[in-house]
Structure 1
Amino acid sequence: MALAGAVAAGPASTTGAGTSSSHREPARTEIRSIDGTNVVFQYDRPVPSFETWRQDNDYREYRDLDGTWRFRFGDDGVDPREIGVEEGWYRSEYDDSDWNDVAVPLPWDLHETPGFDTYDGDYFGEGTAHRDGYAWYRRSVDVPDSWNGAAVELVFLAAFYSARVYVNGELVGEHEGGHTPFALDVGDHLEPGAENELAVRVYRREWFEDEESASEPEGITGDSELPNAPVDWWPYAGLTRDVYLEATDPVTASKLLVDAADGEVTMRAVVYNAGDEPGTRTVEFDPGTGTGGETATEELEIEAGETRVVETTVEIPDASAWSAASPTTYEATVTLSDADDTTVRDGLSTTYGMRSVTIEDGVLQINGEPVYLKGFNWHEETGASGRSVDESGYDALLDRVREANANFLRNSHYNRHPYVYEYTDEHGLYVMDEADNMWVSAEQQEAQLEYGLSWALAVTTAWNQYNRPSVVMWCTQNESSTEETDVYREWLEEMKDGVDAVDGQNRPVTWATFESHDPSFDLADVVGFNEYYGYFWGENEELSGTLDRLSSEYPDTPILITENGTWSHAPRDGDAGSPYESGTEAWQARNFHEHWVQAASDERADNVVGYTFWALKDYKTREGYNRFDANAVSTMGTMDWGDSDLETHVVYDTIRDAYGAYPDLTDFEIGDDGEETDESESGESDDGRDGGGGDDDGGTADDTADDSVPGFGVLGGATALAGTAYLLERNTTERTK
């Protein structure tokens, strides 16, 4: 890599239509129109590609910052006086020799928490998993002489919940949003040829009062934080994903946007000049091996501090379409060369697929063909590593999704590590990517219209995953309050408008509501709703009527069940001699069956386009109603909370056979005794997947309404009743949780 020139500190000189200047979130996220393309900016610079996370770009240099960092909590874990700032823990000369050595990436929850990966409730409340407030990280890094004059970004793939970052004692930036990557310009703050000191203060707010002693602790609501109060997942804290330094030529390709369909590809390079001098570059585009496309070149003149977008369109006659059944991907590359001596100064590659997402007469279509989504919700975690999952951990979990004959994942309720999108692109899983807006109250919706974090999270979701062929839908929020209808609609419209402005592929935008009479359905491209008939309210058989009503009210809009499921916290076969006792695994499987046969029935209108089970795997949660004395593990999954074995529950086999048999709804059974049976036949799904066979559980579609089964079709057990009371209260009053 050739690095030359000095780096300027000024902002990009080109401005255009963007966000309101009243938005106050720390990254100051904006959309600016650059050469006819809407570009997302943070910290006055275009948000870069995070596909370089493997640090293998031949045109750039890296320093991998994963590994050992020094660590300590603030005073009593909460640091109410910000003692770290007062005592100068960020200064280069500060002596941190008595701090602890910890691994990064890894949530501080896993530092010293006995039994965290178990279901043993005796451990709940112990260890660093329950330390909130401020914590500090420090480490040294040698910066080579060759970086003198380079543009250098310090990249965090995630820091939960918020981070304040120092380099050699100087504050370089702050970020808020615990699952979204960010990059800070640190070139002017580093000393090439010397050892440099990094310090990061990470903050996780207290979620509960008297958490360790209260069985139903009182949630603490926030002002601007998202989530702004306790929600139904575990808030893993700290530096939870990869950290690295990336050095580039001052004139750098920040992002390569690729749109491919109908045998041609448009490539747009977002080029930023971080230097203090103008530059001239030859920009060369390559659509990738196997496409049959030719390279194309354009000449670029760019001023100091300026951002430009260079665009070209070429035919790709040999390219095949991407779909779940045939996930063919290609690699597009852009290089920037000196116009005088043709030396390549920078380059950037991205994975893409030739794929279209459209809605015709209310039917969701991929490449012009209708698709039915058979999916899972899931959380990104393991008991040993929390959110800091490695590739083998992702492979083990996502392989189970494909083995269950699913073709769809909802990334509930936040963005994932870049590797997840690489997996879904390569292996063929449709993805709904979701912004970190969950259970947002009416008061907080109004606050976010000024603060702008909700909008920023939605917009960066679309920007960061722009090229991913597997991402076919955006979700901006989950189960937020509808109490103040005007505020709610304005909040949703602002986020949707931002996503639409960024996404040139026009993927549908939706949100997952907690009710089927949501006052915003007319704004959504897809009506997404979470339904728990027969468990949190009503009876199982009411689902058909709700789907038919929604299909009639919104005939031109796809209808998607974004959640449905139950807990299975009782012994596998029950305590009362019946495998279908409320809360058993067989009861959970049968509940799925009741809902699936209604959602997937050919009696439904064509605009009912999918079903998404909650959840793929048991998961940790700090939400009080969902504990069950199981060490804060929610047992709504199809697999155990454990790390390596991923032992499946009865419902996993039922889902596998149901999804595999689709569109046939009679090709699988639920055994009367709850034991696994072997009576189903292999099926072929509508997207060409092997339906699979093997063991299954359950009765046929003809006997799903058997009211003689104890606890079936009604709320059963103290656990379900407690959960129902909580959710009904949250849904009918101003939400503080």
Structure 2
Amino acid sequence: MAGLVLLNVMVVLALPACTSPSSPAELTPTLSFKSIAGSRIAMQDGIPVPTFSYQPRRRLDLTGKWRVEVMAMDDDLSLTPRSSALKQIVADAAGRQQSVYDDTHWPASDVPGSFNPPPSPTGNGAWYRKDFDVPVEWQNQTVTLKFGAANYIADVWLNGHYLGYHEGGSTPFAFDASDAVIAGDVNTVAIRIDNPPWGTRQDIVPWGLTDWWNYGGLTQPVWLEASASIYAARADIVPHLDGADVTVTLHQRRGTAASVQVGLDILPAAVDPTNLTNPDPRSLVPPDAGPITSQRLDAGVIGSDATSQVHASFALANADLWSPESPALYVLRVQVFWEERPVDQLFESFGLRRAVVDARSPRVLLNGNAVAYAGVALHDERVYPGINGQPRGGPVTRPDDILILLEKANATNIQLIRADHHPGNPLLLMLADRLGYAIWEEIPLYHYTPDTFAIAMDRGIPQQMLAEMDLRDMNHPSVLFHGLANESTGGPEREQALATLHNLDRSVDGTRLTGQAAYGNQPDDTTSSPLDVAGYTMYYGVFYQPDASTGTAQALQIAHKTFPRKPIVALEYGRWSDSRSDQQEQRRILVDTYAALAPELASNPSGYVAGAIWWTLDDYWTQRPGVRIEHFGLFTPNGDPRPAGLQAAELFSGGAGQGARQKIVSSATGAPIQPAFEGKLLLGYLAYALTVALAIPAVILLGLLARQRRRRVTVG
């Protein structure tokens, strides 16, 4: 948040003296990309990065009560390579990682949740343990242990077997647990989590002063999935306005080499109040609905401990496109056949949409239409019901909590949501897909400096976080923007880091637009050059310059002059409302700032502003020194709108968030494009395009000839 501009400068100057390690951590990222038979496949901990969406497989949900012991952790040890650190970590564990350890005296806490909820942080780490029964039917199955997120460094044991580690607080990870799980018996998972305090070291992400609460622990769900030895690890859909490309990643953990086939079906989908919060994509498919189009692929022979990919493309005519105003969805069904016998299924929901920068003007186009979104920022934090006028606090863990936030967004006619300063909560993205909200999500490169950019990028943690976010959210049509940094400093160092991250984002995903949140009081900052849009935090009349309207208008003109062909996004504007006397001043900042933004919105013929995001929807807990709660919300913690919230509803045009009420049933006519294998997809599209291109003139010519014949008959 730009409210930290001056404070951040002072802290940055002071931190080098107090940050602990003399050299950056040497713990390496666990995600990498491997070239297999011409395909670039994301691998982590020896397996392809799987899907983390709900799947119709054997599943053990470990949500609920866990035994948790909060304690101090050795941050230096946690950030040391496991080849040299694991022995000491095990020694310090004193048996906590073993199944036989007695944890009955530990307090029970909810997972997902946090070991350090506000208002008083306790400890920098914790041990988590849970006993659970595994059905005997899981014998000889491939078992994957999946984590939605663990903040910040997690080391994982199952029945005393060390599975591995993960660094990064907001993105998912998984381990092959097949050799460690005991079918038909009680199993024990033990997790050591270290969450180094922000501001104590420069080699973690984020590293320094932040304006939100640092929730440590298992902040998102934990579960196990069981499948056959050969299974579909993930399915990635690249949407087009007239079709989709599909890539299915297959993995065989252990077994006899065998011939594998893959069946693909694109199915219609419908969202209504009965299935809105159901995570199973199958719930979106109307009863008795048949496939719109299908394809059967030969994946060849896949051997033991092998990974492979198959590729397919579909042409879809008269398809329903996804947008915030009309969030049409489809469902992909993947079936895996081993020697013609069905052994696995995978489902993903997706939408057809295309977000690009207009080649002729500085506008963002969604499905060919210029966008000018009214937006708001959300924190991944429970707000309602408030406690003594304060936000409730704690990570958001239920879809109902998200729906409360989105109802407030809808009441203020919001179309675009900035999902805090880190990857969005998967529940938010699921509901944004279904209800119809555009999403800006980002990695937490927050208040980075030339030195900390160099340290982080050399370690590779931002790259891993971005790749994990991209892979997790590949099939969410609501995610239109990927943010790569927030209010950071440095010229060449920052621009080089942003260029590296932009190129990585393009190679992994390529369907989203990249940007950063640069300081708005430096509108001539050129470091957004490698990115698709130029984003700024705009706090004129609040932290710099006396007049919000004049200052914002002047800054927009300078930014547009700096990037005449690049859309501008105002990623933050707002003001606190600490008391009743502040409420009218908060409303005035909204009115005056928006008055400067409105003439430049891309909905106007010469406009170039693609979105303007108010900071924030609700009040939130912070670890900013001297402040417990930031009162920037359009709503109070009790859910009542402040004057600025009422004013926003009058200023903004709305139109988003109505997906469940619209009851859209997607439809199309489709056909697979042959050939479907990588390297030949372009030929298939060219053939399809050529057919359409030749058909249209032929129809016109036939029409003209018929018209001429009719004329001749009439005249003659």
TM-score category by the smaller chain? 0.7 to 0.9
Instruction: Determine if contact 1:38/1:501 at 8 Å carries over to the other structure.
Output: no
Match of 1:198 among 173, 189, 198: 189
Identity %: 25
Distance 1:373 1:457 in 2: 27
Q: Which residue of 2 aligns with 1:703?
A: none
Match of 2:646 among 620, 645, 653: 653
Distance 2:206 2:559 in 1: 29
Distance 2:238 2:353 in 1: 9
**How far has the Cα of 1:259 moved from its partner?**
2.1
Alpha carbons of structure 1 residues 267 and 568: separation in structure 2 relative to 1, 3 Å: same
Q: Which residue of 2 aligns with 1:231?
A: 210
Distance 2:623 2:657 in 1: 40
Q: Which residue of 2 aligns with 1:609?
A: 610
**How far has the Cα of 1:554 moved from its partner?**
1.3
Task: After TM superposition, list the pairs within 5 Å mapping 1:387-466 onto structure 2.
Answer: 387-466=395-474
Instruction: Determine if contact 1:40/1:460 at 8 Å carries over to the other structure.
Output: no
Alpha carbons of structure 1 residues 41 and 131: separation in structure 2 relative to 1, 3 Å: same
The alignment yields a C-alpha RMSD, in angstroms, of 2.5
2:427 alignment partner AA: Y
Q: Which residue of 2 aligns with 1:312?
A: 312
Q: Which residue of 2 aligns with 1:215?
A: none
Q: Which residue of 2 aligns with 1:623?
A: 624
Q: Does 1:513 align with 2:518?
A: yes
Instruction: Determine if contact 1:292/1:316 at 8 Å carries over to the other structure.
Output: no
Alpha carbons of structure 1 residues 401 and 225: separation in structure 2 relative to 1, 3 Å: same
Task: Encode CA deviations 1:267-288: one digit per residue, 9 max, x unaligned.
Answer: 1111122224323221000011
1:590 alignment partner AA: R
Q: Which residue of 1 aligns with 2:477?
A: 469
3-state SS, counterpart of residue 316 of structure 1 = strand
1:544 alignment partner AA: A
**How far has the Cα of 1:243 moved from its partner?**
0.9
2:206 alignment partner AA: P
Match of 1:30 among 29, 32, 36: 32
**How far has the Cα of 1:599 moved from its partner?**
0.8
Distance 1:78 1:187 in 2: 30
1:554 alignment partner AA: F
**How far has the Cα of 1:373 moved from its partner?**
1.4
Alpha carbons of structure 1 residues 139 and 688: separation in structure 2 relative to 1, 3 Å: closer
**How far has the Cα of 1:454 moved from its partner?**
0.9
3-state SS, counterpart of residue 175 of structure 2 = strand
3-state SS, counterpart of residue 308 of structure 2 = strand
Alpha carbons of structure 1 residues 347 and 102: separation in structure 2 relative to 1, 3 Å: same
2:565 alignment partner AA: D
Task: After TM superposition, list the pairs within 5 Å mapping 1:261-280 onto structure 2.
Answer: 261-280=240-259
Task: Encode CA deviations 1:339-394: one digit per residue, 9 max, x unaligned.
Answer: 2xx33211111111111111112110000011111101110111445113311111
Distance 2:141 2:442 in 1: 35
Alpha carbons of structure 1 residues 171 and 587: separation in structure 2 relative to 1, 3 Å: same
Match of 1:562 among 557, 568, 571: 571
Q: Which residue of 2 aligns with 1:50?
A: 52
Match of 1:637 among 622, 633, 636: 633
Distance 2:255 2:365 in 1: 48
Task: After TM superposition, list the pairs within 5 Å mapping 1:639-718 onto structure 2.
Answer: 639-640=635-636, 642=637, 645-660=638-653
**How far has the Cα of 1:75 moved from its partner?**
5.6
Q: TM-score, normalising length from structure 2? A: 0.78
2:294 alignment partner AA: T
Distance 1:23 1:322 in 2: 43
Q: Which residue of 2 aligns with 1:214?
A: none
Unaligned segments of structure 2, at least 5 residues: 1-23, 78-87, 270-289, 383-390, 660-716
Q: Does 1:256 align with 2:235?
A: yes
Q: Which residue of 2 aligns with 1:530?
A: 537
Instruction: Determine if contact 2:495/2:529 at 8 Å carries over to the other structure.
Output: no
Match of 1:349 among 322, 347, 356: 347
Instruction: Determine if contact 1:562/1:611 at 8 Å carries over to the other structure.
Output: yes
Q: Which residue of 2 aligns with 1:721?
A: none
Task: Encode CA deviations 1:498-527: one digit per residue, 9 max, x unaligned.
Answer: 11101142x211111123232412111100
**How far has the Cα of 1:193 moved from its partner?**
2.0
Q: Which residue of 2 aligns with 1:16?
A: none
Alpha carbons of structure 1 residues 372 and 35: separation in structure 2 relative to 1, 3 Å: farther
Q: Which residue of 2 aligns with 1:585?
A: 583
Q: TM-score, normalising length from structure 1? A: 0.76
**How far has the Cα of 1:462 moved from its partner?**
1.5
**How far has the Cα of 1:400 moved from its partner?**
1.2
Q: Which residue of 1 aligns with 2:297?
A: 298
Once the two structures are overlaid, the 10-residue window that deviates more, 28-37 or 648-657, is: 28-37
**How far has the Cα of 1:612 moved from its partner?**
0.6
Distance 2:256 2:425 in 1: 36
Alpha carbons of structure 1 residues 84 and 438: separation in structure 2 relative to 1, 3 Å: farther
Q: Which residue of 2 aligns with 1:73?
A: 70
1:98 alignment partner AA: H
Task: Encode CA deviations 1:449-473: one digit per residue, 9 max, x unaligned.
Answer: 2210011111221221111111111
Instruction: Determine if contact 1:154/1:183 at 8 Å carries over to the other structure.
Output: yes
Instruction: Determine if contact 2:323/2:436 at 8 Å carries over to the other structure.
Output: yes
3-state SS, counterpart of residue 492 of structure 1 = helix
Distance 1:271 1:379 in 2: 36
**How far has the Cα of 1:36 moved from its partner?**
5.1
Q: Does 1:164 align with 2:172?
A: no
Match of 1:188 among 175, 179, 189: 179
2:170 alignment partner AA: H
Distance 1:170 1:289 in 2: 43
1:500 alignment partner AA: R
Alpha carbons of structure 1 residues 312 and 421: separation in structure 2 relative to 1, 3 Å: same
Distance 2:523 2:257 in 1: 56
**How far has the Cα of 1:491 moved from its partner?**
1.6
Distance 1:560 1:312 in 2: 35
Distance 2:567 2:456 in 1: 28
1:353 alignment partner AA: G
Distance 1:602 1:226 in 2: 35
3-state SS, counterpart of residue 656 of structure 1 = helix
Match of 1:132 among 98, 123, 126: 123
3-state SS, counterpart of residue 293 of structure 2 = coil
Match of 2:144 among 153, 157, 180: 153
Q: How many residues end up aligned between the 2 structures?
A: 588
**How far has the Cα of 1:76 moved from its partner?**
9.7
**How far has the Cα of 1:77 moved from its partner?**
11
**How far has the Cα of 1:442 moved from its partner?**
2.1
Alpha carbons of structure 1 residues 468 and 34: separation in structure 2 relative to 1, 3 Å: farther
Distance 2:90 2:352 in 1: 53
**How far has the Cα of 1:311 moved from its partner?**
1.1
Question: Which of 1 and 2 has higher RCO (CA within 8 Å, sep 6+)?
Answer: 2
Alpha carbons of structure 1 residues 103 and 236: separation in structure 2 relative to 1, 3 Å: same
Distance 2:578 2:74 in 1: 33
1:528 alignment partner AA: G
1:159 alignment partner AA: A
Match of 1:488 among 477, 494, 517: 494
2:293 alignment partner AA: E
Q: Which residue of 2 aligns with 1:283?
A: 262
Instruction: Determine if contact 2:440/2:482 at 8 Å carries over to the other structure.
Output: yes
Give the helix-richer structure, 1 or 2.
Answer: 2
Distance 1:620 1:140 in 2: 33
Unaligned segments of structure 1, at least 5 residues: 1-21, 111-115, 117-123, 208-219, 575-583, 661-684, 691-737
Alpha carbons of structure 1 residues 423 and 611: separation in structure 2 relative to 1, 3 Å: same
